[in-house]
Structure 1
């Protein structure tokens, strides 16, 4: 910020920034904005957004947009377009991806014959150079336009990036080859195929990146559409439908069974079960009655409720979760790409070396203009970043393709960098370590006169079959038999008090078992169930306690072995859950997680805060989850992994999506990520080592430009072959 005094009441705006090709672009835009008086800006390359606080007395949004455009990029006000049907930033991303796809297809179609004619000597018919020139020009001009344009933009600002190397290398190859073709000096080689191959492969990488852009913003879009669209407001005793955006604090709204709660509020009348799994991730509905707090976007399962609205708009729980995801994503900047950092110094160094090479041979060695120029061209050609440009996209294409075959979706190169330093992995409980579905795990009965165990269980299944409660559905499903169930009459369901009905003239009631049961056998079963976080359901038969049915979510079979495999990888597992401490402790014990690394009854904001707390301790944190309540934590973590069976919001907020719900996939995803990163680093090391070793050789005049082209092609072949090793990556299979 340039101004010495900035008012406390700054205005804030979110701008979408398009046209950025690397992290140096986002840094440049951020510097330009922060040079303005009264401006504090943070530009995120990954999400293509600029979060700006500015003094409205000094400038406005249009001046901010003009500054970004003056830096060579484009911008759009995301707040202004939020109410429009079309998202201009998404449209720009889609247009960019489509443009790159068109350039890629054309370039690839022309590059194949270019390479064949150039490299297969029996096909060198008279005048073949002219044919290859004609084929290469569209690739160089149209296909290479994004790189040439970006290089010129960077040059205007005194900056050098990967685009500069691409543009410089392909331009030198084209100009040299054009001079050779026109002059007819056939004893010198032409390098049209080098320019075409470089541009085509880099277009492939750029198109792949363009398709991956904007996925984090999709999480926010999903969150925006999560809540109810309409509310039934009670006005002077009459019901009136209004959009939820028009609700005010104090309004009284009616929420019927099957409807979403339109806003945060307090129950005034009625009792019901609220399915809050979309926010809490926990499968057991919460019983509510007058005085209980309810959250907007949760689902009313059974009874009719009258709710007084207490929070709306930006104050609502859903808005707070959205803000957490936004803040977390804006701070999770992608890695500064190795190639761009080195190119900032490498490109000027190459230009200087080429100029000194020409002067050395022309003035000091007296080799003449042609030999001096040939040596200088050899330096520029050997520095052409074919291998450097292929190092990352080739490994990404192969690695992510192999991951897709295994049900592991990796969203971008920064994900791989994050996977390398992870030392702590935070696991959600429901849907990640457990199945996320309620099951009957135990049934304890007592002897009653003239009544068998089978009769009790069939009666329970028959009665619960009339209820939509998740626990009731589990009992009805798991206790049903192949024989027809008894007939049920006089069924009644009372929220918070269970269900009751007549079964063959017997009065049957099912409700959550009280902790003070006096019947010894059933009291012991209840105590055991509560100690491990399960839900004990008491069945009474003609007002006599008859059975305790234990219902709980179960740990996935491979969860313990998956956790065991994480530790040898240098990862310390933690468990975060919104469930009660008993259930959390039971799952941690079954999965093999240290009890001191368990946090229960954790709200969505608390999950995100706990990830921040671990990061503040110097840990590099991975988060694995599947619910909306995990979205902010997934975005905040250094590496977010979403189970594919989870919500779209969790998947979009994550870095890696596991299409399998098997915890073993967590281990495979980390192994593949680290392996791909290792291949990328090996490729980059080779590419830089190749340039470092051969540039001095070319500068001394010991390397003909044709041999320089062959060496460059050999380096590219090595990078491609090294990347293809990822196709052989094999999962651990069933963990032992």
Structure 2
């Protein structure tokens, strides 16, 4: 079934998100709907033969909210900040009351505005500035649910109506200031919350600022500055020192250093010269001309932004607990507030005190913090992970990664370079290294075998060599190649047995020969020499594995020869019993199954088709970007930089994110557990309750923001 993501406007708390989810999931043509309060998005899997995106929007709007279709822009849209004038105007209405309350602290009511001024200010606040709360409450009740707006509306309306009634009866002991200040504090809290979600917490917004608005393009035989949206594939663009690259492309002139850390997590700038690829959003030190090959959403940056938008809109399993609580929270709070009012009225015999305590319960108990607890941390954690070059496909993948106990690594392309290199050369007597290369390359350049290409590549780094004319070049499957060199005779390149000789035992006893593939060379059955080729470790593999081992059990499971796998394990300091070679795809799956039977959470890293089954079975599968399509499809996360160091970063970020999620859930729950009884017993006035409610959401968001400062 196709999936679509909408931007939702008008949600005020987690109960709103739950209501939209409930309505959508009741529809037969909706397979699954998930609404994220923090990212203000809805992800819907639906049957497009029975409905359309426009009909889904109508369903959402009937629940009292606004939904926007995905834009046709090249990159995901960054939400526009809401107007703040209403918040500041409402705060201005509280100023006279604040002045009066300062006087009351010193036992004087002289600074409190006259009663008629209080009535005017409270009426303006309740009939105009409270309208969004009334609309939200009515839409919520009409849909058969209740949200934060219901609580605020009930509380402030009760205060306003009671105070008006007392004023009409000549009683001057009124509480107009409480209703106005509750509305102001709640509105200010929602403003801070929205600003944090759309600003500091939203890594997507930062990504969308990485491409320049204008770019230099070569047209009509001169350089012109044009808006980015007018650039087309194939255009020649110029990037100068200090500017950002506008599109993915290929350098055709000049040279520069490019900072690509926003895409790969690699902190070191990468040198770019003719023929090299440049990536959109990179910052240049130097000047290059490049041909645009991918634009907008088709660039790596665009792909990252789309992936982040989709992932941040998903929900972690831990969030389901908060959702279940929030779904019944508001109705329960209304009942608790009524009970608090009745109990206090019976015990105290004071209607005013009982009313204020009941209202305080309504105001203090808001599910906002509970609804933000997990998605806020998830948004921040995913943003940090993307900046480090780790793309989690959804929130569930990140949460699972935070609980990983064992890491299973493929060898080739993960720990090693993924291609053979010449690591040793042996020459027979009276044969120089240059001569050996000349004769070998003359034949190997006719082969596409990885070992042959590695020797040709190594030879290109040496001085200029002689060329030979060949005849009758033949390949013997599994053995090597044989050819005739004019005026010299038959040359054989392949296994030592194929070339008719054995290498010296002293040579084979050396590690880099004993654990390498051997390519021998002979001419007219006379030994010329041999090359040792091996898939070498990446520069950061040793340090990365040691970092992983601080928190996880690490294994290598590879299809390569057992001796080679054990040699790699020895190089990175891994115990030999944790390294397994000669493993077919089914055996990799069986190995992960055995680990899971021990109740361990497993992460698997791979890049090939043979790794796909294991990636799918693991609790979290990490594929290296650029690996086979089936591997990337089977994985739960993608490593943009093909390095185990990126994996270690991703697992660390996930572990910290899950920790913050748990802290936020604790803060949100303990806030309500303590706040409701204190309000019911009269220790919190409605004004203090409103301030606490606003601070609860802000504190949860602030705790989530700590993840953005993670080292």
TM-score, normalisation: structure 1:
0.61
Deviation at residue 521 of structure 1 after TM alignment: 3.0
Deviation at 1:175, TM superposition (A): 5.6
Q: Deviations over 1:243-289 (max 9, x none)?
A: xxxxxxxxxxxxxxxxxxxxxxxxxxxxxxxxxxxxxxxxxxxxxxx
Compute the RMSD of aligned alpha carbons: 5.1
Does the 8 A contact of 1:431 with 1:646 survive in 2?
A: no
State the SS of the aligned residue for 1:691.
helix
Q: Deviations over 1:605-627 (max 9, x none)?
A: 44334322311222221112233
CA distance in 1, matches of 2:609, 2:35: 20
Name the SS of the counterpart of 2:604 in structure 1: strand
Change over 3 Å in CA distance of 1:642–1:202 after alignment to 2: farther
Per the alignment, residue 468 of structure 1 pairs with 448
Instruction: State the partner residue of 2:436.
Output: 456
- Inter-partner Cα distance in structure 1 for 2:639 and 2:77: 32
Point out where structure 1 has 5 or more consecutive residues left out of the alignment.
1-13, 37-42, 49-72, 156-163, 213-331, 731-736
* Alignment check: 8 A CA contact 1:140 1:196 kept: no
The residue correspondences of 1:192-591 to structure 2 (distance < 5 A) are: 194=186, 197-198=189-190, 201=193, 334-335=317-318, 337-343=320-326, 346-368=329-351, 371-448=353-430, 451-490=431-470, 492-494=473-475, 496=477, 497-501=479-483, 505-507=487-489, 509=491, 511-514=493-496, 519-521=501-503, 533-569=515-551, 571-591=552-572
TM-score (norm 2): 0.63
- Native 8 Å contact 2:189 2:698 kept in 1: no
Cα distance between partner residues in 1 of 2:155 and 2:77: 20
Aligned partners of 2:513 and 2:532 also within 8 Å: no
> Residue 455 of structure 2: SS of its match in structure 1?
helix
* 1:548–1:619 Cα change, 3 Å: same
- Secondary structure in 1 matching 2:548: helix
Retained in 2: the 8 A contact 1:173–1:191?
no
Residue 659 of structure 2 corresponds to residue 678 of structure 1: yes
Matching residue of 2:82: 109
Contact 1:420 1:674 in 2 (8 A): yes
CA distance 1:136–1:346, change in 2 (3 Å): closer
Distance change in 2, residues 1:31/1:132 (3 Å): closer
* Cα distance, 1:559 vs structure 2: 1.9
CA shift for structure 1 position 385: 2.2
> How much has 1:427 moved relative to structure 2?
0.8
- In the alignment, the residues of structure 2 paired with residue 599 and residue 625 of structure 1 have an alpha-carbon distance, to the nearest angstrom, of 15
CA offsets per residue over residues 339-372 of structure 1, 9 Å max, x none?
124436644542331120122234443322x554
- Conservation of the 8 A alpha-carbon contact between 1:117 and 1:128: no
Query: How far apart in 2 are the matches of 1:707 and 1:720?
Result: 20
How far has the Cα of 1:686 moved from its partner? 1.3
Query: Structure 1's 542 and 353: CA in aligned 2 closer, same or farther, altered over 3 A?
Result: same
In the alignment, structure 2 segments of 5+ residues that lack a partner are: 9-13, 37-42, 61-66, 98-116, 168-174, 205-314
CA contact (8 A) 1:439 1:551 kept: yes
Return the alpha-carbon distance in structure 2 between the equivalents of residues 47 and 577 of structure 1.
Answer: 41
Question: Deviation at 1:434?
Answer: 0.8
Displacement of 1:447 after TM fit?
A: 1.9
**Using a 3 Å threshold, how does the CA distance of structure 1 residues 584 and 531 change in structure 2: closer, same or farther?**
farther
Between the aligned partners of 2:488 and 2:159, the Cα distance in structure 1 is 96
- Equivalent-residue separation in structure 2 for 1:122 and 1:196 (angstroms): 12
In 2 relative to 1, CA 18–664 (structure 1 residues): closer, same or farther, beyond 3 Å?
A: closer
Match of 2:605 among 624, 628, 637: 624
Partner of 2:469: helix, strand, or coil?
A: strand
SS at 1:436 equivalent? coil
Other structure's SS at 1:610 match = helix
Structure-1 residue corresponding to 2:177? 187
Alignment of 1:126-141 (within 5 A): 130=124, 137=131
1:515–1:526 CA contact under 8 A, matched in 2? no
Shift of 1:474: 0.9
Cα gap change, 1:474 to 1:594, in 2 (>3 Å): same
Aligned-partner SS, 2:419:
strand
Q: Which moved more, 1:648-657 or 1:195-204?
A: 195-204
Matched-pair contact (CA < 8 Å) for 1:44–1:333: no
- C-alpha distance in 1, partners of 2:452/2:419? 12
CA contact (8 A) 1:516 1:523 kept: no
SS of the aligned residue for 1:430 comes to: coil
